[in-house]
């Protein structure tokens, strides 16, 4: 079975720059361009609607620049980012923003190909198969709470959101920051109870009350407490199976 292509969005106010990216991507059939945007405001809407997994992003654009676009988004919703810009002085800031790579215009194909190797490596890490199931799934998680250690039963967890190398655990109306990447924590949780519905979101299936289809194939999950969470296209099939949806 072939591997699905990585879905990419091109964001640059220069038509010729977007054309150059298209040409550079022509030799990378595992990257599928799902849209183009001429400014950051359009890109913000396109990211929400199209859910790209990779963003080629210019920095200086009319209105909102590329950094402000990223700053205004939740980290769990961010695609992988490769900056493509004519200015070299923003490289350090770009990597502070967790960019995969930083390309200078005009695009050099060999350098571009190196960036795609980094994208693939990062993508494989994000989608790494879970480690073999432990003999017993995690029953409790200890998290710091001021000067105390709070013990949370995994059965009490409502949902979890990735936050860089941390996760934000939501349980019983409160949230707790726990220092562990989402992928690592997910591997220790009972897969019959916890469902990944987005690259950065895991939910306790017992807390799911409704699933709402939205426009353009999007959907959201509504929990019993009213919390609304994005159900990514990528995880829709597994959600349908877990929730017994036809």
Span 95-121, pLDDT tens digits: 777 788 999 999 999 999 999 999 998
Q: Where on the phi/psi map is residue 139: left (φ > 0), alpha (ψ -120 to 50), or beta? A: alpha
Three-state secondary-structure class, residue 89: helix
Q: Specify the pLDDT at position 31.
A: 95
| DSSP letter for each residue of 4-62 | PPEEEEEE-S-HHHHHHHHHHHTT-TTEEEEEEESSHHHHHHHHHHH--SEEEE-S--S
Whether the predicted pLDDT of 134 surpasses 60: no
Q: Which of 26-30, 31-35, 195-199, 206-210 has the lowest mean pLDDT?
A: 195-199
214-228 tens-digit pLDDT: 766 678 999 999 999
Q: Output the six-digit token pair for 97.
A: 């923003």
209/186 Cα distance (integer angstroms):
22
What are the phi and psi torsion angles at 91 (to 5°)?
Answer: -60, -45
- For the record, the structure tokens of 10 come out as 């091109």
| CA within 13 Å, CB half, 179 | 2
Kindly indicate the confidence band of residue 33, based on its pLDDT and cuts at 50, 70 and 90: very high
H helices of the chain, where?
Answer: 15-25, 40-50, 66-71, 91-96, 109-126, 182-186, 236-243
Mean pLDDT of the chain: 88
Give the separation between CA 90 and CA 142, rounded to whole angstroms: 39
Pull the structure tokens for residue 210: 């409704």
Residues 51-87 have pLDDT tens digits of 899 999 999 998 899 999 988 887 767 889 999 999 8
pLDDT confidence of residue 160 = 96
Instruction: Supply 106's token pair.
Output: 């005009």
Phi/psi at 181 (5° precision): -65, 150
> Domain 142-243: which topology?
OB fold (Dihydrolipoamide Acetyltransferase, E2P) (2.40.50)
CB-side neighbour CA atoms (13 Å) of 106:
5
- The CA-based angle 48-21-110, given to 5 degrees, is 130
Tell me the pLDDT tens digit for each residue of 146-156: 778 889 999 99
Determine which helix (DSSP H) or strand (DSSP E) holds 173, and give its type and residue range: none
Lowest pLDDT segment from 2-6, 30-34, 138-142, 231-235? 2-6
Question: Which class does domain 6-124 fall in?
Answer: alpha beta
> Containing H/E element for 79?
none
Annotated domain spans of the chain: 6-124, 142-243
């Amino acid at each position: 079975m072939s591997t699905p292509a990585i879905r990419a969005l091109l964001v640059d106010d220069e038509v010729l720059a977007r054309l150059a990216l298209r040409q550079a991507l022509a030799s990378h059939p595992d990257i599928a361009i799902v849209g183009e945007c001429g400014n950051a405001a359009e890109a913000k809407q396109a990211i929400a609607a199209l859910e790209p997994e990779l963003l080629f992003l210019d920095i200086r654009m009319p209105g909102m620049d590329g950094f402000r676009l990223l700053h205004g988004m939740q980290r769990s919703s961010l695609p992988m980012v490769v900056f493509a810009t004519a200015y070299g002085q923003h490289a350090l800031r770009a990597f502070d923003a967790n960019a995969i790579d930083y390309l200078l215009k005009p695009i050099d194909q060999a350098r571009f190909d190196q960036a795609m190797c980094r994208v693939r490596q990062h993508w494989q890490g994000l989608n790494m198969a879970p480690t073999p199931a432990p003999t017993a799934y995690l029953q409790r998680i200890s998290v710091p709470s001021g000067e105390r250690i709070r013990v949370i039963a995994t059965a009490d967890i409502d949902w979890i959101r990735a936050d860089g190398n941390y996760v934000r655990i939501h349980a019983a109306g409160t949230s707790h920051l726990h220092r562990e990447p989402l992928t690592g924590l997910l591997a220790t949780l009972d897969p019959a109870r916890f469902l990944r519905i987005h690259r950065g979101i895991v939910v306790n299936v017992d807390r799911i009350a409704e699933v709402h289809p939205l426009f353009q194939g999007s959907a959201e999950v509504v929990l019993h407490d009213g919390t609304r969470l994005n159900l990514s296209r990528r995880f829709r099939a597994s959600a349908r199976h877990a929730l017994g949806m036809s």
